[in-house]
Amino acid sequence: MQPWQRYRLRLERKRWRLRALRKRRELEPVADRTAGIVPRDALVFSTFRNEMPRLAEFLAHYRDMGVGHFLMVDNGSDDGGGAYLAAQPDVSLWRTEASYKRARFGTDWLNGLARRHGHGHWCLTVDPDELFVYPFHDSRPLRALTDWLDASGLRSFPAMLLDLYPKGALGTDGAAPDPEGRWFDAGNYAISRNPVYGNLWIQGGPRARLFFSDRPERAPALNKIPLVRWHRAYAYVSSTHMLLPRGLNRTYDEWGGEKACGVLLHTKLMSGFPEKAREELERRQHFAASAEYRAYAEGLEEGREPWCAQSERYEGWRQLEELGLMSRGGWA
């Protein structure tokens, strides 16, 4: 990279950090329990709106993993989710009615909170419909992974977003033949490298199949870097797809080997998806004038179903490793 490019990225990172400081003023504390955070706590940061049906599973999943504290931003929920989280002893909650879009889709709010509360901690930045899994997660707590990352000199850990879906029409899980099943696409993923930020760019899966088959380049990005040993000088650039400084995005091996990586089980397409898609389309608070949600609305109106003969039923992390969607790398 040329010196002028490095300089431009340093200026960009400074811009996002200053913006996060300003945008943090939009957050009103509802339940601030951050004084209880201890030095070795792993932290979860998340922004949400009307996610009450998912919150119990979300908290249970990360508590079982060993997360010490949750820092949550409620962007105007009216379904009781805010009150539910405010009553949880390991949750600090802020609320805002400000524009999600003008906060760079929540990124500014979470950058601001991470700068203030995440410095020196391993931080997981995830949505309520994202369940992080990693090699051995069923037998080793998150601290085992972060201790290994520390010992290996690694500051970030990637995870591909893996869309889960029911066997049946979207939104009719209860009438489907297998209402409890969670299925996924084992293949049809395209990977490229971002020349500016150095991160991988992954697209594909059921949303690309169902809603973007005629324009795959517009399908949602599936590459994420959710787990970071945070420093107050860091900043997410675009959701958790990439960060600055640029070195945090180099989570892959260019010399033919494998680096450890995880998966974010994405439950967006499970129960409640049609209602959520309509709400977000009306709000128009998402990227590119909510073009993604317009595509969802068209597909739902046509009754498209994600399950196909090549679908795989989710069974666990070892299955994902065998399929090449997750790797333990050097972590045995």
Domain of residue 291 covers 3-322
* Among 160, 130, 113, 120, CA closest to 62: 130
With a pLDDT cut of 70, the percent of the chain lying above it is 93
Predicted local confidence at residue 285, as pLDDT: 56
Predicted local confidence at residue 172, as pLDDT: 53
Predicted local confidence at residue 299, as pLDDT: 77
Q: Is residue 332 part of a domain?
A: no
Count of Cβ atoms closer than 10 Å to residue 274 Cβ: 16
Q: Is residue 330 part of a domain?
A: no
Predicted local confidence at residue 284, as pLDDT: 62
Q: Using one digit for the tens of pLDDT, what is the confidence trace for 115-140?
A: 999 999 999 999 999 999 999 999 99
> Which value, in Å, is the radius of gyration of the alpha carbons in the chain?
19
Predicted local confidence at residue 175, as pLDDT: 37
Q: Is residue 124 part of a domain?
A: yes
When divided into structural domains, the chain yields a total of: 1
Q: Is residue 253 part of a domain?
A: yes
Q: Count Cβ atoms within 10 A of the Cβ of residue 47 and give its class: 0-12 exposed, 13-18 middle, 19 or more buried.
A: buried
Global confidence as pTM: 0.93
pLDDT < 50: residue spans in the chain = 174-179, 289
Q: Is residue 329 part of a domain?
A: no
Count of Cβ atoms closer than 10 Å to residue 256 Cβ: 5
Q: Using one digit for the tens of pLDDT, what is the confidence trace for 277-330?
A: 777 677 665 555 467 777 887 777 777 889 999 999 999 999 999 999 999 998
Q: Is residue 328 part of a domain?
A: no
C-alpha span between 59 and 253 (Å, rounded): 33
C-beta separation of 53 from 275 below 8 A: no
Q: Is residue 180 part of a domain?
A: yes
Predicted local confidence at residue 171, as pLDDT: 59
DSSP 8-state secondary structure symbol assigned to residue 49: S
Q: Is residue 327 part of a domain?
A: no
φ/ψ (deg, to 5) at 133? -130, 150
Predicted local confidence at residue 167, as pLDDT: 87
Burial of 209-246, coded b for 16+ CB within 10 Å and e otherwise, reads bbbbeeeeeebbbbbbbbbbbbbeebbbbebbbbbbbb
